[in-house]
Amino acid sequence: MLRKQDLRPIDPYTWEIPTSFHRQMQVPVRLFANERLLAYALKDEALQQAVNVARALPGLVGFVAVMPDVHQGYGFPIGGVAATRWPDGAISPGGVGYDIGCGVRLLVSGLTFEMAAPHLDALADALNARIPSGVGRGGTLKVSHADLRGVCHQGARWALEKGYATPEDLERIESQGVMAGADFGKVSQRAKERGRPQLGTLGAGNHFVEVGLVEQVFDEAAAQAMGLREGLVTVMIHTGSRGFGHQICSDYVRALQGEPYVRGLPDRDLAYAPLATLLGQNYLAAMRCAANFAFVNRQVITHQARAAFEHVFRGVYAPEAWWLRLVYDLHHNTAKVETHRVGGKRVKVCVHRKGATRAFGPGHPDLPGVYRPVGQPVLVPGSMGTASWVLVGTEGSMARAFGSTCHGAGRVMSRSRAKKQVRGAALLARLEAEGIHVRAGSMRGLAEEAPSAYKDVDWVVESVVGAGLARQVARLVPLAVIKG
């Protein structure tokens, strides 16, 4: 396990593990964190995992970046960013994670707290009734083999054609809701069987639908572009590709374990394929299928959330008050081919982001026109019962972290430890006493996601803002939470 003296401070929010730390390191590791979050990062194997990435992944450029919400994962740390040269670098499923395409979506209504408050209990019931959640839970949407192929190849455009999205929705999704280059033929039959019944479902673990309130705005111009004002009611959706993506990751990790070079890796979960190989290209094509599934999954849940709001508020307020308008949707578990400036030169790279969010700065051509002047919206959910944040990407993020920033609060306690230390019923009572309406599939699942199991999201945001990776736009507080 690394010690603080193994890291070199660059500034109050940036720390570096130099290549001299281990003779096999190809690039340094850079951690963005304040002193308090650095102490958390040193308590598990997350930083050692980042060092292992710097040792093992061929074609790395620049450095391995580690976000302040980092914690230990499988192979790669959760909160890690690594870029390999295209096309002679490598792709590692462990650098994307098992929940391919996991991400966050934010919607905003025209309702104020005063308008919504008398109806929050009914709203929590309506959301819970319409959005299936829980381990392995299937949904009510009937998805054929042809539909699943359309989801994988068309992404959110499939949802638009089926009536689950509006044209404006697609304009406000990262990459317009589709990763090009997906190939349904590279997905196993088992993954297809797992995926078909789960479209439009939330899952369990840290996934949720949260009704929130814009508590404070910090950047008026960015907030205005997003339609956020203090006192407005929001909905945040956090989920991914469910069993579909998990099976795709499992299939390719298994295939890679047979490669002879895996035996020489510091961690077998770092198994990779050279990007130029058939196996590497096949994984990328299948991963893109799961990423597109995740876009559509959050879009269908949006459709269900809109139906819940209509059920509760129709006849009470005009549609412009209760209609949920999409602010933005983004992934935080993907690998994307992008061009970044490295060592003063523009280089095409494959950027692995595992528990890290794209945070492109103002003017980037990949951003929707409405956000190009202010930067990419970044959605940072907190732990259940605490605040969440809306940020925007910066030029600093482009220069310092391959256009990336944090993705959430980050765990400090394992799920098993949380269940031992927290009683779900007591947590439920406390949250309800604080005015947060909770609907949970089980008390054990609720205990796993207790706020005490996570870092302080305000510290995380302070760190990425201090490091120049993002700017604060708005702080949200929870009113109701739906969990599996």
Active centre residues (catalytic): 407
The amino acid present at 267, given as its one-letter code, is D
Contact of 456 with 68, CB cutoff 8 Å: no
d(CA 56, CA 160): 42
Per-position DSSP letters for 285-329, written without gaps between them: HHHHHHHHHHHHHHHHHHHHHHHHHHHHHBTTB-HHHH--EEEEE
Residues 6+ apart with CB under 8 A from 162: none
Burial class (CB in 10 A: 0-12, 13-18, 19+), 16: middle
Q: Which strands form 29-32's sheet, in the order they lie side by side?
A: 8-11, 14-17, 29-32, 64-71, 78-85, 345-354, 333-342
List the one residue out of 335, 316, 360 whose CA is nearest residue 84: 335
Q: What interhelical angle do 278-313 and 120-130 show, nearest 10?
A: 140
Kindly state the tokens that stand for 411: 């765990």
d(CA 437, CA 385): 10
Q: SS3 letters for 156-170?
A: HHHHHHCCCCCHHHH
Contact of 100 with 245, CB cutoff 8 Å: yes
List the one residue out of 408, 405, 407, 389 whose CA is nearest residue 470: 405
The amino acid present at 124, given as its one-letter code, is A
The radius of gyration of the chain from alpha carbons, rounded to an integer in Å, stands at 21
Residues 6+ apart with CB under 8 A from 278: none
